[in-house]
Amino acid sequence: MNMFAKQISSSDLNQIKAALPAKIMNGRLSELLERIPYISESVKSVKYLEGEHATLIDIDTQDLAERDKINVDLDELIDALLVSKISAQKKLKVHARPNGQSQATYPDNSAAYYDGNDVRLMEAIDRLLLEVAVRHGAHVRDYASIYTADIMERNGYHKNFPQNVYGVTQIPHNYTLIKEIRESQSSTIPANLFQNHGAFLQPCVCYHCYAEIQETVQSEIMFTLKGRCFRHEIQWRLNTFRRNEFTMREIVFMGSQAYVESKRLGIMDEIWDLFCSLGLYGQVVTARDPFFHYDDMKTKGAVQLMADAKYELEFISANGNASSIASFNNCQDTLCEKFEVTNDEKSFLHSGCVAFGIDRWRAALYEQYGPDNRNWPEKLKNA
Ligand SMILES: [Zn+2]
């Protein structure tokens, strides 16, 4: 257990305040603040107190055992971060917002539903992204929203990001059971009557493409697809940029190492030009995904490799918040190995994908131009 992160006693039972070791700074500090909400569902907010170099956590439980458990897990998280190496974030491209504007021109208050203007805005931006994909020779696909157990076992997403997934369950087709549920006085179905076959609501869309050509021999191939994605986010962090359910377009490419990297960077340059030509402000940076295995963060080489494997296009809103609206990923040969996609010399293909959060592009464009399409940039209007 960590000897530095001694809890500072807080008279308020609904708060935990912990002094942080001096080495928890910069990248480690932002990782810590990002991860604390996943310690327990009782965590309701996390603050960093700069003057005291401490973290203040609001919890909504009076249960002392639960409180102790949060303290223990917090210590373990800090210990893991202390031995981790987190590379400094690199900026690859920057389009800075001119000074002066500090508020969104069109505040976005709609969270419960999208209206006709929102839908048109999302269709227009998706059309522009689809054009990029098709120009690069992508095959267009539309798949189901559920990943089967087989697809999940191969890609391993649920093991790497268990905090994100939604499982799919169903009632068995069994006459006795169905009759029992229908005739029961209860207004709900007991959870234990559902069966689970290992399927998940898709947290991203690209694995379908690998499944389509699994165990085949290929040279190079590209797909584009769009789908509804589902992620179990921290409830109190939900907003227009962070949703439980959102639409993602991806461009997926498989081939030689050189083909994959040139497609990733080529498409990234085109998307950057599109982003700037739409009058949006932001940057392309190396990514840091939370919840890679702690062991992976211990060697500098692995960290650098991981950072360069994923670039993110961040929209920076008028109030200064950065949100990733696209990512450009090089998966090396890991996914083709899992889905057994090989070339004719029997080596696994390399692969990569470019993923766009359509809802986030909408939120970015809405903030800038609002709902009335007469104010939209020409490119969007024409799309
Ligand atoms: Zn992907």
- CA 327 to centroid of ligand 1, rounded, Å: 9
Tens digit of pLDDT for each residue in 179-196?
999 999 999 999 999 999
Tokens of 341: 């996609």
- CA 11 to centroid of ligand 1, rounded, Å: 47
- 374 plus 303 within the same structural domain: yes
- CA 248 to centroid of ligand 1, rounded, Å: 10
- 35 plus 141 within the same structural domain: no
Q: Among 61, 82, 103, which residue terminates a domain? A: 82
- 332 plus 270 within the same structural domain: yes
- CA 119 to centroid of ligand 1, rounded, Å: 23
- 137 plus 14 within the same structural domain: no
pLDDT at 316 over 70: yes
- 20 plus 107 within the same structural domain: no
Reported as a pLDDT band with limits 50, 70 and 90, residue 4 is very low
Compare 115 and 306 and report the one with higher pLDDT: 115
- CA 326 to centroid of ligand 1, rounded, Å: 11
Residue 25 falls within a domain, yes or no?
Answer: yes
CATH code of the domain covering residue 344: 3.30.930.10
Tens digit of pLDDT for each residue in 97-143?
887 666 677 777 666 789 999 999 999 999 999 999 999 999 999 99
- CA 207 to centroid of ligand 1, rounded, Å: 7
Q: Among 30, 56, 82, which residue terminates a domain? A: 82
Give percent of the chain above pLDDT 70. Answer: 90
359: buried, middle or exposed (CB in 10 Å: 19+, 13-18, 0-12)? buried
pLDDT at 170 over 70: yes
Whether the CB-CB separation of 35 and 86 falls below 8 Å is answered with: no
Residue 135 falls within a domain, yes or no?
Answer: yes
- CA 205 to centroid of ligand 1, rounded, Å: 6
- 377 plus 263 within the same structural domain: yes
State phi, psi for 175 to the nearest 5 degrees: -55, -45
- CA 194 to centroid of ligand 1, rounded, Å: 30
Amino acid 293: pLDDT = 40
The mean pLDDT value for 333-342 works out to 96
The Cα angle at residue 255 between residues 252 and 259, in degrees rounded to 5: 90
pLDDT at 296 over 80: no
The mean pLDDT value for 169-178 works out to 96
pLDDT at 355 over 80: yes
- What proportions of the chain, in percent to the nearest 5, are helix, strand and coil? 40, 25, 35
Q: For residue 174, give the amino acid letter.
A: N
Amino acid 110: pLDDT = 63
Q: Among 82, 113, 137, which residue terminates a domain? A: 82
- CA 318 to centroid of ligand 1, rounded, Å: 29
- 48 plus 111 within the same structural domain: no
Whether the CB-CB separation of 319 and 102 falls below 8 Å is answered with: yes
CA 265 remoteness from chain centre: 20
- CA 273 to centroid of ligand 1, rounded, Å: 21
Amino acid 299: pLDDT = 54
Task: Give the Cβ contact number of residue 241 at 10 Å.
Answer: 20
- 244 plus 130 within the same structural domain: yes
Residue 312 falls within a domain, yes or no?
Answer: yes
Residue 340 falls within a domain, yes or no?
Answer: yes
- 65 plus 209 within the same structural domain: no
- CA 355 to centroid of ligand 1, rounded, Å: 6
- 73 plus 207 within the same structural domain: no
Amino acid 295: pLDDT = 44
Residue 155 falls within a domain, yes or no?
Answer: no
Q: How many domains does the chain have?
A: 2
CATH code of the domain covering residue 53: 3.30.1370.10
- CA 76 to centroid of ligand 1, rounded, Å: 31
Task: Give the Cβ contact number of residue 170 at 10 Å.
Answer: 10
Tens digit of pLDDT for each residue in 73-104?
999 999 988 887 777 788 999 999 887 666 67
Reported as a pLDDT band with limits 50, 70 and 90, residue 237 is confident
Amino acid 1: pLDDT = 41
- CA 52 to centroid of ligand 1, rounded, Å: 40
Whether the CB-CB separation of 288 and 86 falls below 8 Å is answered with: yes
- CA 253 to centroid of ligand 1, rounded, Å: 10
- CA 376 to centroid of ligand 1, rounded, Å: 29
Whether the CB-CB separation of 128 and 274 falls below 8 Å is answered with: yes
Reported as a pLDDT band with limits 50, 70 and 90, residue 305 is low
Residue 2 falls within a domain, yes or no?
Answer: no
Three-class secondary structure of residue 274 per DSSP: helix
**DSSP letters for 106-170:** S-----S---HHHHHHHHHHHHHHHHHHHHTTPEEE---SEE-HHHHHHH-HHHH-GGG--EEEE
- CA 204 to centroid of ligand 1, rounded, Å: 6
- 22 plus 116 within the same structural domain: no
Residue 111 falls within a domain, yes or no?
Answer: yes
Compare 7 and 191 and report the one with higher pLDDT: 191
- CA 353 to centroid of ligand 1, rounded, Å: 5
- CA 347 to centroid of ligand 1, rounded, Å: 21
Tens digit of pLDDT for each residue in 22-63?
999 888 898 899 889 999 999 999 999 999 999 999 999 888
Domain, as residue range, for 129: 91-146+203-382
CA 358 remoteness from chain centre: 13
- CA 250 to centroid of ligand 1, rounded, Å: 6
- 272 plus 297 within the same structural domain: yes
Residue 179 falls within a domain, yes or no?
Answer: no
- CA 219 to centroid of ligand 1, rounded, Å: 19
Tens digit of pLDDT for each residue in 191-232?
999 999 999 999 999 999 999 999 999 999 999 999 999 999
The mean pLDDT value for 164-175 works out to 96
- CA 78 to centroid of ligand 1, rounded, Å: 30
Task: Give the Cβ contact number of residue 291 at 10 Å.
Answer: 14
